[in-house]
Structures are given as C-alpha cells and as structure tokens.
Amino acid sequence: MHNILIFHALLHDSVSHTKLMARLHSYGIRGDVLKWLQNFLKDRTHQIIWSDSACLVSTTADLLSGVVQSSGIGPVLFLVAYTLINLAKLLESHGIIVKLFADDVKVYLEIVNVSDTVTLQGVLDLIIEWASTWQLQLSVSKCNVNHWSCSL
C-alpha cells in the first residue's frame, strides 16, 4: 500500500477573493449577505508584530488574498473556498482512498501492477491541476510517499 501526503503552502493566505465570491454565489449566497462578505474582505490591511513589543512592527500592507484567520467567519470562508471534500470525491471516483485533515490530503492506493502506477500518476496530476485552478501552491518539501507491505 502506498500513502502520499500532500501539504499546501500558506493555504489560508492564498484564498483568491474573486474565486471565493464565485464559490459563495454558486452555493446560492447572494444579495446583502454576499455584499457583506465582499466588504468584509475588501480594503483590509495587515502587519506583523514581533513578540509583545510595539517597537517591532512591520509596515502595513494591503491584504490582496487570504481569509482573516483570527475572525469567526475566516475559517468558514476557507472551508467554503476550497471544499477539499470536492477534491476527495474527484479522487475517489478514480478508485483512490482519500483522507482529509484541515488543509492536508492523504491519498492511499495499493500498487500491484504497472497500471496502478499510471493511476497514481494520474491522481497526482489531478491534484496539481486542482491546486493550480484554485491558485494554490503545494509545499513540495513537506509532501512524501510511504510504502507499507505485509511481507513475512
């Protein structure tokens, strides 16, 4: 059995506001609620404060993408934006076992012949295509492959 762990880089910071609004609209969220959410993300800025010292503060920068993690609605917007469940369903339709935890994806496949390796490569290609479509970057240095066998 092969297990591939796929990690996304800075996922909460990568949420495309335009794609998020399109996703919300596709779920039937419209009118004042959608406008409120657009305004919630619009014209936001951020800065970094190191330690508890007010003297170590970065300059303010515009927040062009991402969700506000310290807000109540931010994590919900993140889940709506990426619906990793849709990715899992897509992969499962190819006979792959998928496990999700937060923004990480685990893919399981038993490889017994060359055809299985082709399937596995196709699945990895689908994940890369999905990440590209949603303007997400994979953290390749954190991704890895594990192999288990029951040989005695």
Mean pLDDT for back-to-back runs of 10 residues, the chain (152 residues): 60 76 89 93 80 74 76 74 72 82 75 87 87 78 76 60
Here the tokens at position 83 are: 């619906």
pLDDT (0 to 100) of residue 80: 72
The C-alpha atoms of residue 75 and residue 78 are separated, in whole angstroms, by 5
Gap between the Cα atoms of 107 and 33, Å rounded = 36
Dihedral of the CA atoms 22, 25, 27, 29 (nearest 10)? 140
pLDDT, position 12: 63
Strand order across the 104-109 sheet: 97-101, 104-109, 2-6, 144-147
pLDDT of 69 reads 67
Query: Which token pair is 67?
Result: 């969700």
Which of 120, 122, 141 is closest to 3 using CA atoms? 120
Supply the pLDDT for residue 82: 65
Q: Quick one: which H or E segment has residue 105?
A: strand 104-109
Question: How buried is residue 106: exposed, middle or buried, by Cβ count under 10 Å (0-12/13-18/19+)?
Answer: middle
